[in-house]
Structure 1
Amino acid sequence: MYAQGSMADGEEEDKEQVSVEKKSIAEVLSSAAPADSLWTSEASGSVRLRIEESCPEEPVTVHQMFKASVDKYGSMYALASKKNDKWEKVTFLEYYQLCRKAAKSFLKLGLERFHGVAILGFNSAEWFFSAIGAIIAGGIMTGIYATNSPEACYYVASDSKANIIVVENQKQLDKILQIRDRLPDLKAIVQYSEPLQQKLPNLYSWQEFMELSLDVSEKEVDDIISSQRANQCCALIYTSGTTGKPKGVMLSHDNITWTANHASRVGDMQPADTKQESLVSYLPLSHIAAQIYDLWTGIMWGELVYFAQPDALKGSLITTLKEVQPSSHMGVPRVWEKMMEKIKEGISQCGYVRKKMVTWAMSVSLETNKTCAQKNDEKPFLFALANSFILEKLRAELGFSCCQKFFSGAAPIGTETMQFFLGLNIRLYEAYGMSESTGPHFMSGPKAYKLPSCGKVVPGCRYKLADIDSAGTGEICFWGRNVFMGFLNMEDKTREALDEDGWLRSGDLGKIDEEGFLYITGRIKELIITAGGENIPPVPIEEAVKKELPIVSNAMLIGDKKKFLSMLLTLKCCSSEESMESKEELSVEAVEYCQQLRSQATTVSDIIGGKDKEVYQAIQEGINRVNNAATSNAQCIQKWIILRRDFSVSGGELGPTMKLRRPVILEMYHDEIQNLYID
């Protein structure tokens, strides 16, 4: 059974905003490389573009998009990097010229057509130059997560047949030096930050690398650019491998340029000739969310991108935000949660009167924002008072004095977090999609906002729900110009992801309301099927537990093929600024929670093993409340355990976008789980 939907409200308005030369679809497709199929698993392959009457825009390559922006915004600043306590900026024209130089240098080093240029390091102007330079030179750019182990780096570099690997510093270089002898396609390594500690064959500093461009003619680059087609691969995004081996998601020029153009419209991002947007780049560019938001949309609309410091997620991000005062900001749920914790900590340290005023102002803002569905709806006088005298100061503490648009993506965000920020008069616009859909397929925005949905389908895209159950829930399937080309070197996995008609199966379960808003209810692969045969989506239960128990950081439901459900819990703890690993000490919020229970606990050890009866009783009572709201006895949590440390990326329990790596956690905590099921 299928339920189908097409475009979000405002489609006609969006179509009017796009100037499209009237051509038949056949004429539009004539400039593409020959292709019969909607998918391929070969790096050099091409695909049939999904051009329809609803999205007839002529496909363009990354270079064509960039060149059009240079023509419009050439003299405006594009990138800003902080060096020696001073922001150094380059214009769009300089940005383009530096990318061409990088392209020529890659060609000098022997970059072959449709071979990889892998980039390993924190966000920087050099990261951007390398990515675009690789594409201009006819290669395929791919990011490698900076947290990857040498073996994980080897997998990506080998799979993408990387000719060149660009690394940030000695730490990242050391990883590649451990594996380079096993990479027959590797011809050179380039380091873009810090001086080289030793001179090795085929290792170049950034300056040495850029100087190689002098030996390559402009014509050589132009000939390659002229041969590129919008339906060919130019970028690889590797999945984080939470459920198996990472897959190389092949994105075409059209995937990237079409998505950069259309998805940003829902978020009301403005072109620079109207009002230049500014943002801080800090999320991993190996992930599609940051890449579309920072890199590709930045070029499309002429945005000014500031690069955060490498320790952004260890504490310096807010300092940069205060300095830059961006007009828009995107975070993954964990980033928003960390900001929420910081604000709560600040509020807890206020005096009695100040604390009361802040609590009052936030409650007024929350109620007003819940009542006023549209951002421009008329607000009551009390709200204006609370916002002007109290909330503006709180937003300024986060660096958001000038920020108008706030986005959350890469993973589902909790209702508690969304409501907390509504209390600050900050609407978090959620984006939902996958690497395989070039990022957002559904988006919230000023004209499409409804809690707790993740918005409406992006104009020009389509969706359907497959295998709908009695509650109206089904698997969300995607169709549009943003749907990927296929998985590199994985024909079988590509066929699994796309049905016979070319619809992309998301693996996510959801439902659509009468207004077209999407609500995610779970993930098929995460479904727990108990020994009694009941299908249980874990995420809603996990979120309910975290909402009931502010001391809980992570909750993971267990029970596949088991007689009953149990749960692993971690507590909110402080983390090391260097490694980001969880410490033994409880967070300020967790300590406050304990104090309210008349517990003196300040560390995890003070609580676990049943030593702190007050906390254990409070947790059990919270779980009882969740159980009371369960739809059946099979969905009740029978047993639970508190683990000794919180989950983290460095610990292996979380992926780079902070999603639970469930198979890994099941293996890591096998003994603890077994003990829960001993009769």
Structure 2
Amino acid sequence: MEELQFLNGPCQIVPATQEIITDRDGFVKLRIPKTGTALETIEPLSVPGLIMKTAENYPDNIAYIYKNSENKAVKVTYSEYLKKIRVCAKAFLRLGLEPRNGVGIIGFNSPEWIISNMAAIFAGGMSTGIYTTNSPEACLHCAKLSNANIIVVEDEKQYDKIDQIRDQLPQLKAVVQYSGVPKNADVLTWDKLMEIGTQEDDTLLENSLKRIAINQCCTLIFTSGTVGNPKAVMLSHDNLVFDSRAIFEKIDAGPNEMIVSYLPLSHVAAQIIDMYVATTAAATIFFADKDALKGSLVKTLQEARPTKFIGVPRVWEKIQEKMLSIGAQSGFLKKSIANWAKAQALEHNLKKMKGEHSSSWGYSIASNLILSKVKQALGLDRCNIFVSAAAPISMDVKKYFLSLDIPIMDAFGMSESSGAHCLAIPSCFNLTSVGQTILGCKTKVVNAEDGQGEICMYGRHVFMGYLNEPEKTNETMDSDGWLHSGDLGKIDENNFVYITGRLKELLITAGGENVPPVPIEHIVQKELQNIGYAMVIGDKKKFLSLLITLSCEVDPVAGAPTEILTPNVQEWLKNIGCPAKTIKQVLEAGPDSKLLNAIQEGIDRANEKATSNAQKIQKFRILPSDFSIPTGELGPTMKLKRRIVIEKYQDLIDSMYS
């Protein structure tokens, strides 16, 4: 099929017969039913079409806000945003970006990140986010697989990775650095890039836009790569725009929304919310500073006062830890009032969740006089939807925030579903469900046993395939176009979806019992609230064991844990009679018997809730360091990388089973 026949882009659909492909130059058949909901059958729109439509309808709405070098807030409207995208796209084309080749982007969230992303798509290329934690070898894999013609880096630290692999990338034509002064003369500054684009006429760009089709790949999202190299998830224009529209409808977003951008934009959750839902709603995103996940997030929230907020479980846990630390320092009267207010809010929200009448004078007083101040202190006083995504969140954390009148809504999805597939909303949720399927999409359970099986997804948001990997694509997608999530779950009579475990994370003991580790870990952390992480091990073993970390302070520069224990942990150790300020002091002479007894008592309480003897923890060890992203135990969204932890502490694990 000659592509030159189709020059009606950027919102054309090229005829196609397959819903699944792995070829970068291919086109897919869109999953649009002949009849269905308004959203299911809504007219498709390309990414450039979406941005141009918003810029035309809301030209003066603020698209994003960032802090300049003088720490002053700079506001950029949607009309200005579109102009910057076009200028950047023209520069990419002049530098030699070829159709469906990659523009790699590696750096913390910034205007340059989202402009580069959109400009790559406008120019007919594929935006390719690269995690800032990637090694040079991992960057090489992403760049080679995407055929990256251009790589945009944040600073010298990220450029050094590219510099080490540059001679292995013959297709690479330019490197752009958007922060700091490049040390190499052949690296373009951001200002120089935009100068190149400004000097170009619109001919190349308009020709590229004409060739764009809604049903072709425009973005690559790399999976976490727990085994082997990460796969490149191919997302089409329709995948991204449809999912953003479905989320937009579900959360009732509008042009006055404020969203804080801090989760890694190389991850699908941040992309779909920060770039696509925000643009669909003509909303504003506020860029956090790069230390957001190291402790400065609340400061940004206080300044931005978002109306919608999404966090991964560890972010919510960190906020809870901070709140508990502050509460522990309060006097008796203040603590009693706070506990009363929290009890009122928890009762109110639990009744509301069940559809029961929940108004009371106690809740009104607690909400208006006490809990409103808590929200204000967190910068969440304007927020009407609080979301947790990317990993399971514990019931304990959800109940804690419910008692603060902050009901956390679960979201469920994956890179292969363009982001969200299920989402809870305040008017329709419960504590154990990830919500209901978003409009226009379908969920089913296959291979069910004991009422649960593998969760499968279908809809216009389901990805095209893994780039150049037909076998792995066929392992994930069946012949009818259903995406197999790898998650265990069930669906109830009210269409609420529940995730009960992960197929690949299931531990199979030597006795043949299937054990889901995450629920056990959540119970342990509820019983031992002063520890950091608890990781259950025991695959192919006779019994379960536990690896425990103690929470440590984070180095503000490196982002890695230090040896210094957090104030909460220090206070806990002091109270049980074995004071220590560092993890080294805890471990150097062997952990104090009082600490070991305190941990064992918590594990005993957790074991009382086990569903079988095979799910009881028999042994544990305290690790010499907390987990973090820089040290490799956590992924970009702070999800536990079990294989890495096991490899790192194999000798310690073996000692428990020898």
TM range (shorter): over 0.9
Q: How does 1:455-474 map to 2 (within 5 A)?
A: 455-470=435-450, 472-474=451-453
Match of 1:75 among 48, 51, 60: 60
What is the distance in 2 between the residues matched to 1:629 and 1:401? Answer: 37
**Counterparts of 2:160 and 2:487, CA distance in 1:** 38
Matched, 1:551 2:530: yes
1:119–1:167 Cα contact (<8 Å) kept: yes
- Equivalent residue letter for 2:126: I
Matching residue within 197, 206, 223 for 1:213: 197
Q: Report whether the alignment pairs 1:42 with 2:33.
A: no
SS at match of 1:382: helix
> Cα 1:331–1:301, aligned 2, differ >3 Å: closer, same or farther?
same
1:178 is aligned to 2:159: no
Match status 1:135 vs 2:116: no
Task: Provide the rounded CA distance (Å) in 1 between the counterparts of 2:593 and 2:314.
Answer: 30
Listed as ranges, the matches of 1:194-213 within 5 Å are 194-200=180-186, 203-213=187-197
Structure 1 ranges of 4+ moved more than 4 A: 374-378
In structure 1, the partner of 2:641 is 661
Specify the alignment match of 2:540 in structure 1. Answer: 561
SS in structure 1 of the partner of residue 165 of structure 2: helix
In 2: Cα distance, 1:288 partner to 1:376 partner? 36
Q: For residues 574 and 163 of structure 2, what CA distance do their matches in structure 1 show?
A: 51
Does the 8 Å contact 1:550/1:590 carry over to 2?
no
**Equivalent of residue 220 in structure 2, options 212, 217, 236:** 236
Is 2:393 aligned against 1:413? yes
- Which has the higher mean CA deviation after the structures are superposed, 133-142 or 394-403? 394-403
Residue matched to 2:603: 623
Residues 622-675 of structure 1, C-alpha deviations (whole Å, 9 max, x = no match): 212222222222121111111111111111111111111111111111100100
Task: Classify the secondary structure of the residue corresponding to 1:526.
Answer: coil
Match of 2:512 among 533, 537, 556: 533
Please tell me whether the aligned partners of residues 565 and 634 of structure 1 are also in contact (alpha carbons under 8 angstroms): yes
* TM-score, with structure 1 as normaliser: 0.92
Secondary structure at the counterpart of residue 412 of structure 1: coil
1:357-376 matched pairs, under 5 angstroms? 357-373=337-353
* Whole-angstrom distance in 2 between the partners of 1:56 and 1:81: 37
The aligned counterpart of 2:573 is: 594
Q: Provide the residue aligned with 2:322 in structure 1.
A: 342
Amino acid at match of 1:569: I
Deviation at residue 115 of structure 1 after TM alignment: 0.1
* Equivalent position of 2:406 in the other structure: 426
Alpha-carbon displacement from aligned partner over 1:7-61 (angstroms, at most 9, x marks no partner) = xxxxxxxxxxxxxxxxxxxxxxx94222221111111111111111231111111
One-letter code aligned to 1:212: I
Aligned to 2:307: 327
Task: Write out per-residue CA displacement over residues 358-401 of structure 1, whole angstroms, 9 at most, x where no aligned residue.
Answer: 22212221222112117996521111111222111111121112
Give the conservation status (yes or no) of the 8 Å contact 1:375–1:446: no
Letter matched to residue 83 of structure 2: Q
Residue 480 (structure 1) aligned with residue 459 (structure 2)? yes
Contact 2:294 2:554 in 1 (8 A): no
Match of 1:62 among 14, 22, 47: 47
Please state whether the residue corresponding to 1:432 is helix, strand or coil.
Answer: strand
After superposition, residues 21-420 of structure 1 pair within 5 angstroms as 31-52=12-33, 53-54=35-36, 55-83=40-68, 84-200=70-186, 203-270=187-254, 272=255, 276-373=256-353, 378-420=358-400
User: CA–CA distance in 1 between the matches of 2:501 and 2:141?
Assistant: 30
1:632 matched to which residue of 2? Answer: 612
Q: Secondary structure at the match of 1:657?
A: coil
Task: Describe the shift of the 1:302–1:377 C-alpha distance in structure 2 as closer, same or farther (beyond 3 A).
Answer: farther
Larger displacement relative to structure 2 (297-306 or 212-221): 212-221
Structure 1's 588 and 268: CA in aligned 2 closer, same or farther, altered over 3 A? farther
Indicate the structure whose relative CO is greater, using CA pairs within 8 Å and at least 6 residues apart. Answer: 1
Alignment of 1:633-648 (within 5 A): 633-648=613-628
Q: Which residue of 2 aligns with 1:577?
A: 556
Q: Percent identity at matched positions?
A: 46
Q: In terms of mean alpha carbon deviation, does 587-596 or 138-147 score higher?
A: 587-596
Q: What letter is aligned with 1:57?
A: I
Equivalent of 2:593, from 610, 613, 626?
613
User: Is residue 80–residue 89 contact of structure 1 (8 Å, CA) maintained in 2?
Assistant: yes
Q: CA deviation at 1:220?
A: 2.5
Q: Name the SS for the 2:594 alignment partner.
A: helix
**More displaced 10-residue stretch of structure 1: 120-129 or 584-593:** 584-593
Q: Residue 483 of structure 1 aligns to a residue in which SS? A: coil
Q: 1:351 to 1:102 in 2, by over 3 A?
A: same
Give 2:476's match in structure 1, choosing from 497, 502, 505.
497
Could you say if the C-alpha distance between residues 297 and 375 of structure 1 is closer, same or farther in structure 2, counting changes exceeding 3 Å? farther
Whether the aligned pair in 2 keeps the contact of 1:333 and 1:408 (CA below 8 Å) is: yes
* Residues in 1 aligned to 2:149 and 2:511: alpha-carbon distance in whole angstroms: 52
> 1:375 and 1:654, CA in 2 relative to 1: closer, same or farther beyond 3 A?
farther
1:524 paired residue number: 503
Shift of 1:352: 2.4
CA contact 2:351–2:358 (8 Å) conserved in 1: no
Determine helix, strand or coil for the equivalent of 2:422: strand
SS at structure 2 position matched to 1:674: helix
Task: Work out which of the residue numbers 506, 521, 524 in structure 1 matches 2:485.
Answer: 506
Q: What is the root-mean-square deviation in Å for CA atoms of aligned residues?
A: 1.7
Q: Using the TM superposition, give the Cα deviation of residue 215 of structure 1 relative to its aligned residue in structure 2, in angstroms.
A: 4.4
Change (3 A) 1:622 1:389: same
3-state SS of 1:450 partner:
coil
Which whole-Å CA distance do the structure 1 matches of 2:22 and 2:454 have between them? 24
User: Counterpart of 2:536 in 1: which secondary structure?
Assistant: strand
User: How far apart, CA to CA, are the structure 1 residues paired with 2:498 and 2:198?
Assistant: 54
* TM-fit CA distance, 1:610: 5.2
Is the Cα contact below 8 Å between 1:107 and 1:216 reproduced in 2? no
SS state at 1:614 partner: helix
2-side partners of 1:362 and 1:135: how far apart? Answer: 48
Deviation (angstroms), 1:214 = 3.7
Amino acid at match of 1:535: N
Stretches of structure 1 that go unaligned for 5 or more consecutive residues are 1-29
The superposition leaves residues 550-583 of structure 1 with CA deviations (integer Å, 9 ceiling, x where unpaired) of 1222111111111111111112222222222222
Give the distance between the partners of 2:294 and 2:640, measured in 1 at CA.
20
Q: Is the 8 A contact 1:268 1:446 kept in 2?
A: no
Per-residue deviation at 1:448? 2.2
